[in-house]
């Protein structure tokens, strides 16, 4: 996943979630790939590849773009299935913008 612990993220930004699939160390396209998230207010959604906001960059490497719309702790889960079964989760603290209304 692309965001690291030292990156400050503010409301209104897009978070890029990288999904990397490897089989025995070799980049491999999975049969299915998805990224799910839960916003601090409880809203949940899932992006399934392929969509406008979830694209393939190269063999075994995908990128999801998610707009964060509220401050607090966001939870993300990337999954692949089929040829490559893998799961990874992360959280990201999103800060309120000092310029938002």
Domain containing residue 34: CATH number: 2.60.40.10
User: What is the share, in percent, of the chain residues with pLDDT greater than 90?
Assistant: 87
In a domain, 101, yes or no: no
pLDDT tops 80 at residue 99: no
Task: Give strand pairing partners of 36.
Answer: 46, 77
| 83: containing domain | 9-95
pLDDT tops 80 at residue 100: no
In a domain, 1, yes or no: no
In a domain, 17, yes or no: yes
- Number of compact structural domains in the chain: 1
Sign of CA dihedral 40, 42, 43, 44: positive
Note whether 17 and 64 are within 8 A (CB).
Answer: yes
In a domain, 77, yes or no: yes
Residues 38-67: tens digit of each pLDDT: 999 999 999 999 999 999 999 999 999 999
- Stretch 4-25: mean pLDDT, rounded? 89
In a domain, 2, yes or no: no
């Amino acid at each position: 996943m692309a965001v690291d612990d030292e990156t400050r993220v503010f409301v209104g930004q897009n978070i890029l979630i990288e999904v990397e699939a490897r089989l025995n160390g070799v980049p491999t396209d999975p049969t299915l790939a998805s990224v799910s998230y839960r916003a601090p207010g409880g809203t949940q959604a899932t992006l399934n590849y392929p969509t406008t906001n979830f694209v393939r960059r190269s063999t075994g490497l995908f990128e999801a773009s998610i707009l964060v719309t509220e401050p607090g702790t966001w939870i993300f889960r990337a999954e692949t299935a089929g040829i490559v079964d893998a799961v990874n989760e992360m959280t990201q603290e999103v800060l309120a913008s000092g310029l938002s209304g």
